[in-house]
């Protein structure tokens, strides 16, 4: 591949803005040198975004019928939307569906599917009191067989994130998962602050979609929200202007420098769908919202570039808003040494954004996708 030199845009390396231009050769970022010029009309050249909570795309959800081919297609759809690396996410389902998705993910990993970072299993070991759009009939405590399956999956996948509630697991189970490299994330839980702290002490290192489907910050019990904002854990945030109020986002940003953006995208992503099904229930797409027929939010109609735009409108410094979609999720996965930065030797997965965060172009491995 001919070396290319990208000029005309400010370069953000994942942590900070630096001097341009940026040179790419053989699909990776390199040091200074010659190459054919790629002229960008202003804007920002940034690392490809990383989305750790992606439930579907192109009209289909992650479910027990998924194959490695479908996961590859899903990764391709989200890459064109700005997320060049994703964790396909299975929400609460049967044990058989969970095993099938893990098998598909293991095959995708063996094939080294571009953009496939691993899997996120959001449930089924949750708290029915904070079920959100999850089917309460499928929520259940973790068994030894469940734990064995997850430990095996951790060996087969590049990364594995598991969202669980402290009430559905034991501290020992959390510890064994964390010791195996699983990113244990607390969510869909009505736990007390003390219970959240105990789970974090056992090995939990993340909180799923902060503020949504969890015990809130109270004057006498800070709940899971309070633990997320005061403990050394990462936390995903759905910044669509619907799931979390702007003022609440500002408060959270002032309290923690470990928040990262997630889309919580569903089957509607990258499609013109106006409705789809989830565990046999209709999901309606209206006015930027995805809801069950009773109005319960069911994921988000959002891309990460749109989330960055929301954060910029809230007054977030650009380098912080962009890090929330690049280096911070990489750090959450403990893969900051290979993901989320535009540095010499790293894959040239890049986005060209307008100054307000709008997506203008996508490259993966130096090849333009959109």
Domain count, the chain: 2
Q: Are residues 195 and 107 in the same domain?
A: yes
Say if residue 202 is in the same domain as residue 334.
yes
Q: Give the span between the Cα atoms of 76 and 146, in whole angstroms.
A: 30
Q: How far is Cα of residue 151 from the mean position of the Cα atoms in its chain?
A: 21
Provide the total of helices (H) and of strands (E) in the chain, helices listed first: 10, 23
The answer to whether residue 198 sits within a structural domain is yes
Q: Quote the longest CA-to-CA distance of the chain.
A: 62
Calpha distance 330→84 (Å, rounded): 12
Judgement on whether residues 218 and 235 belong to the same structural domain of the protein = yes
Determine the Cα–Cα distance for residues 239 and 155; give it in Å rounded to an integer: 32
Rounded average pLDDT over 328-337: 98
Tell me, yes or no, whether 348 lies in a domain: no
Residues 229, 192 share a domain: yes
User: Do 28 and 144 fall within a single domain?
Assistant: no
The residues that bridge with 91 in the sheet, in sequence order, are 122
Between 252-256, 272-276, 359-363, the lowest mean confidence (pLDDT) is in: 272-276
Instruction: Please give the full DSSP string across 43-74, using - where no structure is assigned.
Output: SEEEEPEEEEEE-EETTEE--TT--HHHHHHH
Which residues are part of the catalytic machinery? 264
Q: Which of 211, 186, 221 is nearest to 201 (CA)?
A: 186
Closest CA to 174 of 149, 332, 182, 127: 182
Average pLDDT over residues 197-205: 98
Task: Answer whether 165's CB lies under 8 Å from 141's CB.
Answer: no
Is 345 domain-assigned? no
> Do both 271 and 144 map to the same domain?
yes
Q: Are residues 28 and 139 in the same domain?
A: no
pLDDT digits (tens, 9 = 90+) for 24-58: 999 999 988 899 999 999 999 999 999 999 999 99
Q: Are residues 316 and 172 in the same domain?
A: yes
Same domain, 110 and 26: no
pLDDT grade for 231, boundaries at 50, 70 and 90 = very high
CATH number, domain of 232, equals 3.20.20.140
Phi, psi dihedral angles at 59 (to 5 degrees): 95, 5
Looking at the chain, the whole-number percentage of residues with pLDDT higher than 90 is: 87
Mean pLDDT computed over 308-328: 98
**Is residue 347 in some structural domain?**
no
**Same-domain check for residues 175 and 68:** yes
**CB-CB contact of 49 with 351 (8 Å):** yes
Residues 299 and 263 in one domain: yes
Residues in Cβ contact with 323 at an 8 Å cutoff, skipping those fewer than 6 apart:
14, 15
Mean pLDDT of the residues in the chain: 96
Residue 1 has pLDDT above 80, yes or no: no
Q: For position 341, what pLDDT does the model report?
A: 97
Q: Of 59, 54, 131, 134, whose CA–CA distance to 94 is shortest? A: 134
* Partner residues linked to 28 by β-bridges: 25, 347
**Residue at 212 is within a domain:** yes
> In which band, very low, low, confident or very high, does the pLDDT at 325 lie, cut at 50, 70 and 90?
very high
Residue 272 confidence class, pLDDT cut points 50, 70, 90: confident
283, pLDDT greater than 90: no
Task: Name which residue leads in pLDDT, 18 or 222.
Answer: 222
Q: Is 79 helix (H, G, I), strand (E, B) or coil?
A: helix
Q: Is residue 189 part of a domain?
A: yes
pLDDT at 79 over 70: yes
Average pLDDT over residues 164-169: 98
Closest CA to 22 of 308, 319, 330, 349: 349
Least confident range from 30-34, 144-148, 156-160, 348-352: namely 30-34
User: What residue spans of the chain are helical by DSSP H?
Assistant: 68-80, 95-111, 144-156, 171-179, 193-202, 223-230, 246-255, 304-313, 318-323, 327-332
pTM: 0.96
Long-range contacts (CB closer than 8 Å, 24 or more residues apart) made by 288-295? 288/240, 288/242, 289/242, 290/266, 292/133
Instruction: Identify whether 346 is part of a domain.
Output: no
Q: What is the mean pLDDT of residues 113-135?
A: 97
Q: What is the DSSP letter of 349?
A: -
Helix (H, G, I), strand (E, B) or coil at 63: coil
Q: How far from 120 is each of 62, 91, 117, 161, 304, CA to CA, in Å?
A: 10, 8, 10, 5, 17
Mean pLDDT of 129-147: 96
Confirm if 335 and 47 have CB atoms less than 8 A apart: no
Q: Name the DSSP class of 297.
A: B
Residues spanned by the domain of 8: 4-45+353-368
- Give mean pLDDT, residues 212-222: 97
What count of other Cβ atoms lies within 10 Å of the Cβ of residue 39?
10
Residue 12 lies in a domain: yes
DSSP 48: P
- pLDDT tens for 45-54 read 999 999 999 9
């Amino acid at each position: 591949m001919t070396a290319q030199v990208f000029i005309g845009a400010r370069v953000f390396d994942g942590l900070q803005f630096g001097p341009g231009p940026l040179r790419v050769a053989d699909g990776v970022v390199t040091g200074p040198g010659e190459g054919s010029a790629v002229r960008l009309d202003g804007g920002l050249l940034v690392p490809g975004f990383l989305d750790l909570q992606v439930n579907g795309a192109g009209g289909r959800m992650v479910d027990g019928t998924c194959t490695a081919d479908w996961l590859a297609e899903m990764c391709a759809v989200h890459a064109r939307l700005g997320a060049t690396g994703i964790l396909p996410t299975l929400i609460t389902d049967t044990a058989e569906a969970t095993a099938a998705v893990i098998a598909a993910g293991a095959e995708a990993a063996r094939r080294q599917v571009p953009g496939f970072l691993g899997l996120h299993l959001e449930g089924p070991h949750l708290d029915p009191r904070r079920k959100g759009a999850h089917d309460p009939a499928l929520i259940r405590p973790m068994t030894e067989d469940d734990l064995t399956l997850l430990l095996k999956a951790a060996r087969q996948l590049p990364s594995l994130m598991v969202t669980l509630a402290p009430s559905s697991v034991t501290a020992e189970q959390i510890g064994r998962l964390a010791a195996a490299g699983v990113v244990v994330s607390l969510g869909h839980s009505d736990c007390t602050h003390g219970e959240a702290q105990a789970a974090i002490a056992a090995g939990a290192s993340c909180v799923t979609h902060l503020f949504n489907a969890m015990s809130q910050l109270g004057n006498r019990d800070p709940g899971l929200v309070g633990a997320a904002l005061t403990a050394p854990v990462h936390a995903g945030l759905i910044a669509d202007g619907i799931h979390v109020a702007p003022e609440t986002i500002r408060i959270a940003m002032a309290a923690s420098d470990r928040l990262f953006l997630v889309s919580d995208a569903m089957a509607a992503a990258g499609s013109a769908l106006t409705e789809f099904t989830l565990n046999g229930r209709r999901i309606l797409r209206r006015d930027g919202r995805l809801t069950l027929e009773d109005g319960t939010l069911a994921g988000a109609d959002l891309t990460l570039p749109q989330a960055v735009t929301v954060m910029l409108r809230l007054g977030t410094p650009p380098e912080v808003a962009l890090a929330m979609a690049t280096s911070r999720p990489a750090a959450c996965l403990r893969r900051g040494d290979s993901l989320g930065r535009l540095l010499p030797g790293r894959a040239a997965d890049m986005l060209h954004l307008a100054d307000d965060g709008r997506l203008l172009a996508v490259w993966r491995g130096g090849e333009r996708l959109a």
